[in-house]
Amino acid sequence: MELTNKVAVITGAGSGIGRASSMKLASIGAKVVLVDFNKEAGEETLKLINEQGGQGIFIRADVSKSEDVQNYVNQAVEVYGHIDVFFNNAGIIQKFAPFTSIEESEFDRIMSVNVKGVFLGLKYVLKVMDKQGSGSVINTASTAGIRSEHSVAVYSASKHAVIGLTKGAALEYAKKGIRINALCPGGVQTALTASVTEQFEKGGYIPEELPNMRMGRYAAPEELAEMVAYLASEKASYMTGSVVVVDGGLTL
Ligand SMILES: NC(=O)c1ccc[n+]([C@@H]2O[C@H](COP(=O)([O-])OP(=O)(O)OC[C@H]3O[C@@H](n4cnc5c(N)ncnc54)[C@H](O)[C@@H]3O)[C@@H](O)[C@H]2O)c1
């Protein structure tokens, strides 16, 4: 796999799967445009990439805000001229709750980042890729996008929506040289799962419904980054609209 002279935009680049994937894409030659809400975290990722000899820039953005999304897309094009890879990855986990206790504000919060953020990223990046006639997009869904877990109905709905957006966009762009796939991680050791453990410890989760860690461990973010790099590269030239599960057997 190699991405020499390619430009990759990564959202949620400051932590977890986004950081590991940014480092992987940079290590195989991509110039990376790191996008995150958290300035310190995003700048730290850039520092790590520079230390390993990679090139990139960081742009602070809230992916749920249209003007921020347009700004990171415009800046990527201004600085590097094109966008070849888009890892549309930023996402948040909901507060675990029985269905009828889920606050309306919580529904809006999850949907605005996990669905609207992914939609806006696609909307503006695809305009650029369409002009180029090429590109690879990877949207981060989840195993919760193909089945559910207890007490996370809204998160699950948001990830089903990511798969819907992926398939709809893939269909439209299949003949235009642009591939769009969804990545479904299971449990990955990141800040996001640390909060899951915390919520579990507070008793908000039903233990019998805990996902089976069939390999006896979470994935390391770097194990997801390998798949991101594969989907980004020409090695995956015949893949579009796929829902790619990397879950250590969780959905078996
Ligand atoms: N960790 C898991 O087990 C797991 C499993 C399935 C799917 N996922 C998905 O993978 C993606 C990455 O998760 P992670 O585990 O690496 O999480 P993480 O919390 O480690 O990293 C997420 C990053 O996204 C950023 N972010 C959050 N909201 C943002 C916003 N509105 N605008 C810009 N940046 C924002 C955060 O600042 C953070 O740096 C998410 O979409 C998540 O739903 C994670």
Contact yes or no for 208/176 (Cβ under 8 A):
no
Residue 210 has pLDDT above 80, yes or no: no
- Candidate from 10, 39, 160, 192 with most ligand 1 atoms within 8 A of CB, to mutate: 192
91 ligand 1 Cβ < 6 A: yes
Residue carrying structure tokens 């069939």: 214
- Which atom of ligand 1 has the smallest separation from the CA of 155? 43
Whole-angstrom CA distances from 205 to 26, 121, 152, 196 are: 38, 32, 9, 9
**Alpha carbon distances (Å) from 216 to 63, 89, 170, 213, 249:** 34, 25, 34, 5, 10
Single out the catalytic residue among 124, 155, 173, 205: 155
Q: Which residue has the tokens 């730290």?
A: 44
pLDDT of residue 204: 66
Arithmetic mean of pLDDT, 237-248: 98
Ligand 1 neighbourhood includes 190 CB (under 6 angstroms): yes
Tell me: pLDDT of 130 over 90. Answer: yes
What pLDDT, on a 0 to 100 scale, did the predictor assign at position 216?
85
Query: Which one-letter amino acid corresponds to residue 8?
Result: A
Domains and CATH numbers, the chain: 7-244 (3.40.50.720)
Q: Give yes or no: 155 in active site.
A: yes
- Residue 36 Cα to ligand 1 midpoint, Å, equals 10
Range of lowest pLDDT (28-32, 211-215, 237-241):
211-215
Condensed to tens digits (0 to 9), the pLDDT of residues 117-129 reads 999 999 999 999 9
Mutate to test the pocket of ligand 1, among 190, 193, 195 (most ligand atoms within 8 A of CB): 190
Residue 224 and residue 185 in contact, taking contact as beta carbons nearer than 8 Å: yes
**pTM to 2 decimals?**
0.97
Considering the chain, what is the average pLDDT of its residues?
95
